[in-house]
Structure formats: structure tokens, C-alpha cells
A and B are shown apart, each in its own frame.
Chain A
């Protein structure tokens, strides 16, 4: 039976072929042109998802009885820098949110002022890029209202968040475009589950951008800048994780 030898040969070739696909993938990701093609999926998915949804399509909201019993923390759980610890000691009385960049009226808003602004309450699901999800109740003013108060200039296309926690020796940063910045569920959350935001979840303020994954939801926000381009921010990809390891800037999936 020559068939046996042939079968063995085919089996070996097949296993080698499958192995080549798997190991070849490492090589592909290192080659600049192929890496560019590999990374093009982000723009295609962004284009398709934006085309399929309306600008103001809302992320699902849940009932109180559908909430996670415990909303876990992730990423930096405490910035623990001298500056941040001093703000915690002062119960954030010294903290001011800076709004700047391409705006007509740069603002510095205290926590007390933020708390007096009209707030939105939403019970939404937080989806971590790693695969877990948790449902919690967030409350805070719309980012859009704050940006309107500052008067975002026509040349601006993105807003960049600079945070109090340090990653790789620099403050954590993230960015979203104006579509998500002015989305009716995009809020600066001051409270989680009816309590002021704790340190683990990003006190005093974290971003909620409900149609994207968790790493876009910057915690410990200190500064918000309207910018025309992401080129000058970090290494130019628009966020800490995007620059550091190649996460997608558009994290709609």
C-alpha cells in the first residue's frame, strides 16, 4: 500500500503547512508593509461600524437589577504619585479639570462646579479588551456640554485626555474623535453605583465612552485638549496603549 506513505507525507505536509501559517504570522507582523495591511483592519472596521450606526445610536442601558454585584477595577488602581496623593488628602478640593487646546475659552473647572452641572445617569456595560464585562451605574456631566462651554474651534478633530496616573514614565493619555466626544452617553463620570468615584475606578473623574472598549475610558482625568491631529501626542497613535503595544485607536470591537 503506497497509500500509507502518501498519507504520511500528506499528513506531514499538512501539519507543516498549518505550522507555517501559525509561525509565519509572527514574521508577517514584523514586516513593515505587511504590518500596515494587518493594521488596516482597524480603519475598515471603524468605517463599517460607523456606516452601520447612526451618530447618536445609544449603547444599551440596563435595569438596576441587571448590574454586576462587584464592579472590578483594572489598569492603574492608584496613581500613587505625590501630586495625586496630595489631591486625595485634600479630597480633590485643589483639583481642577483643565480644558484647553483648540477652544475659544480655556476652562479650569473645580470638582464642586462639575457636581453642580446637569448630570446624566446611565447603567451601562463596561467591556474590557481582555474579554470581561461589568455593568455599573455611572453619573456625571456630558463631555459635550463642557466642550460647548469651552467653544471647540472648527479646526479641532479630536479630544485628548491627560491623566494623573503614570504609565511608562509619562501620564496616561487617550483620545477620541468629536463624534464620540459629543455622543449623548459620553460623560465625565463623577460617581459609580451612587457613590463618588473611588480611587480604584478613577477618582475624581473618569471618561465614559460607551461604544468603545475599556482602555478608551481614561481614569484620573486632569486635562482635556481639543486638537486637530494626533501627530504630536505621544508617538502619534492617540493613546498610551496604542503607542506602547499597538492596540487599535478605534476600539468599537
Chain B
């Protein structure tokens, strides 16, 4: 708890407009976070849709350097339905055009967001996981709070709860980088330029499997994220991601 009040002080220290007691509205999301959020929402939807088409072209996943029809897959993903794929009819050429153009947006977007978030201290301030937060007692407390649909610490409403932090850290520092690195490993030209990518992934077929697993992780994140936004009060949450201003929810018993 001591930790968190310090965190609150830091947030209030911000040059940006801080909490105004009357309206109980605080400035929660800085501009780079908001821009990246919406660019990413569109980009990741396009990547999932076009990726689903590409997966339909050969829906078998292998481990190792190679993998084709006569080899043994570890998993045969189901056929991706037309409502999910880009384009809506099977067209591998167009799917690849979408995928490989927006891969650039995803990659350079993440880079820009990371640089901005180091400079504006978003990472250090909001996403740093403190040891105390990982204590079983604290985790259990947050589980109970979640089940009661209370997602914010009333004493420090601007701070992310530990599960939010872990989810965001997993997406920003693990899942999206894993998508990018495994995606780059699929490129025969980059295999020549950066052979270490293949060593890192354990071969091209493995990279393709990692690509699928990380994408599944991102899909899972999106489902949980959207569900929690709906439970937490969608208007307030979405407005805060557009204007940055977030109304502190009234304390519920």
C-alpha cells in the first residue's frame, strides 16, 4: 500500500492536468498511448484477419526447420471462417498485401510507442510491476476485487491494478515483439541477412508456430480486454482513450 501512494504522488506530479476533485475526472492516458491504442486496434484487426487467410492456405503447424504435408504437424488449426478473414473470400495474394503493409505499421508503431513511453515515463510510472504486487496476498486481494467488479484502488484510482499491468506488459513486451520477430523469421531474405533469427526461433517452421501461438495470445487479450472495458463502464473507458480524461468511478460497497 505504501508503494501505491508513492505512485499516486508521482501521477499527480505530472505537468498534465491532474485530478480535479469536483468532477473527479483525472487525466489518465497521455497522447502517445492514445494514438498508439487506436492505430493498433485497426492494425491488429487487419493482421488477425489477413493472418487468418494466410493460415487457411496451409493450416498445419510444425516444429523445426521445415514442415510440409508429408511431415508431422503438432497442430492443425481449424479453418478460419469467412467473417473473420481479410479478404472475405480466399485470396492469398491480397491477404499478404494487407499483412505485409500493416506489419510495417505494427513494427514501427511499437518502436515509436516504446520510445515515447520511455521518454514520458509511462513505462516506468504505470507499467512497472513492484515486488509487493506479486505477493500472493496482494494477488488474491485483486482477484476478489475483480470478482466484485472493482478494478481501481480508490486510494489511487489512476494506477493500473496488477492484472492490468501483467496483461499490458505481456502484450507490449512479449506478445507483439514475439509476433514481429517470428514474422521476420518467416522471410527467406531476412534469414540471409539475420541468420540469428532462425537460431532464436529454432527454425522457420517453429517461427510459424510461435507466430500462431503469440497471435492466439493477442486474441485472448483482446477478448479479456474488451470484456473488462464493458464491465468497467465502456463510455468512460473509451472516452478516456480518446480524450485522455477519465472519471473516477464512485466507490461501491
A residues with a Cβ closer than 8 A to B are 3, 6-7, 10-11, 14, 18-19, 21-23, 25-26, 29, 37-42, 44-45, 49, 52-54, 57-60, 62, 66, 68-70, 72, 125, 127-135, 210-213, 241, 245-248, 252-253
- Knowing that A22-B85, A25-B87, A133-B66 are A-B contacts, what are 12 other residue pairs whose CB atoms are under 8 Å apart, sorted by A's residue number? A7-B230, A22-B45, A25-B49, A38-B94, A39-B97, A41-B103, A45-B100, A52-B190, A130-B57, A132-B69, A253-B184, A253-B188
Which residues does chain A contribute within 8 Å of B186, judged by CB atoms? Answer: 127, 253
| Bound-state Cα–Cα, A127 to B191, Å | 11
Within 8 A of A (CB), among B44-89: 45-46, 49-50, 54-55, 57-58, 60, 65-71, 83-88
A29 B94 Cβ-Cβ under 8 A: yes
Which residues does chain A contribute within 8 Å of B45, judged by CB atoms? Answer: 18, 21-22
B230 A22 Cβ-Cβ under 8 A: no
| Bound-state Cα–Cα, A14 to B38, Å | 13
Which residues does chain A contribute within 8 Å of B46, judged by CB atoms? Answer: 21, 25
| Bound-state Cα–Cα, A134 to B67, Å | 6
Residue of B49, B101, B195 with most chain A CB atoms under a 10 A cut-off: B101
Residue of B nearest to A39 (CB): B97
Which residues does chain A contribute within 8 Å of B208, judged by CB atoms? Answer: 131
Which residues does chain B contribute within 8 Å of A7, judged by CB atoms? Answer: 230, 234
Which residues does chain B contribute within 8 Å of A252, judged by CB atoms? Answer: 187-190
Given contacts A10-B235, A22-B49, A131-B208, contact A241 B101 (CB under 8 A): no
Given contacts A7-B230, A60-B195, contact A72 B70 (CB under 8 A): yes
State whether the Cβ of B200 lies closer than 8 Å to any Cβ in chain A. no
Between-chain CB contacts (< 8 Å), 7 pairs: A10-B235, A60-B198, A62-B65, A70-B70, A132-B67, A213-B188, A253-B100
State whether the Cβ of B28 lies closer than 8 Å to any Cβ in chain A. no
Residue of A nearest to B231 (CB): A7
Cβ distance B37 to chain A, nearest Cβ, rounded Å: 14
B187 A68 Cβ-Cβ under 8 A: no
Residue of B nearest to A54 (CB): B193
Q: Which 8 A-B pairs have the closest CB atoms?
A: A252-B189, A41-B101, A53-B193, A253-B187, A131-B58, A10-B234, A132-B68, A70-B70
Which residues does chain A contribute within 8 Å of B54, judged by CB atoms? Answer: 131
| Bound-state Cα–Cα, A47 to B232, Å | 45
A133 B100 Cβ-Cβ under 8 A: no
| Bound-state Cα–Cα, A62 to B195, Å | 12
| Bound-state Cα–Cα, A152 to B101, Å | 34
A134 B235 Cβ-Cβ under 8 A: no
Residue of A nearest to B88 (CB): A26
Cβ distance B30 to chain A, nearest Cβ, rounded Å: 23
Cβ distance A143 to chain B, nearest Cβ, rounded Å: 17
A134 B66 Cβ-Cβ under 8 A: yes
State whether the Cβ of B91 lies closer than 8 Å to any Cβ in chain A. yes
Given contacts A38-B98, A125-B204, A212-B188, contact A25 B86 (CB under 8 A): yes
B70 A69 Cβ-Cβ under 8 A: yes
Residue of B84, B189, B198 with most chain A CB atoms under a 10 A cut-off: B189
A246 B65 Cβ-Cβ under 8 A: no
Given contacts A10-B238, A246-B93, A247-B93, contact A66 B65 (CB under 8 A): yes
State whether the Cβ of B104 lies closer than 8 Å to any Cβ in chain A. yes
Cβ distance A182 to chain B, nearest Cβ, rounded Å: 15
Which residues does chain B contribute within 8 Å of A68, judged by CB atoms? Answer: 66, 68, 70-71
Cβ distance A43 to chain B, nearest Cβ, rounded Å: 10
| Bound-state Cα–Cα, A199 to B25, Å | 72
| Bound-state Cα–Cα, A42 to B83, Å | 26
B88 A22 Cβ-Cβ under 8 A: yes
B189 A211 Cβ-Cβ under 8 A: yes
Which residues does chain A contribute within 8 Å of B96, judged by CB atoms? Answer: 129, 247-248
Which residues does chain A contribute within 8 Å of B92, judged by CB atoms? Answer: 129-130, 245, 247
| Bound-state Cα–Cα, A45 to B187, Å | 11
Given contacts A6-B235, A125-B65, contact A52 B70 (CB under 8 A): no
* CB-contact partner of A130 in B49, B58, B190, B234, under 8 A: B58
Which residues does chain A contribute within 8 Å of B102, judged by CB atoms? Answer: 41
B94 A60 Cβ-Cβ under 8 A: no
Given contacts A7-B230, A45-B104, contact A245 B91 (CB under 8 A): yes
State whether the Cβ of B205 lies closer than 8 Å to any Cβ in chain A. yes
Cβ distance B102 to chain A, nearest Cβ, rounded Å: 8
Which residues does chain A contribute within 8 Å of B167, judged by CB atoms? Answer: none
Given contacts A10-B235, A25-B49, contact A127 B188 (CB under 8 A): yes
Which residues does chain B contribute within 8 Å of A18, judged by CB atoms? Answer: 45
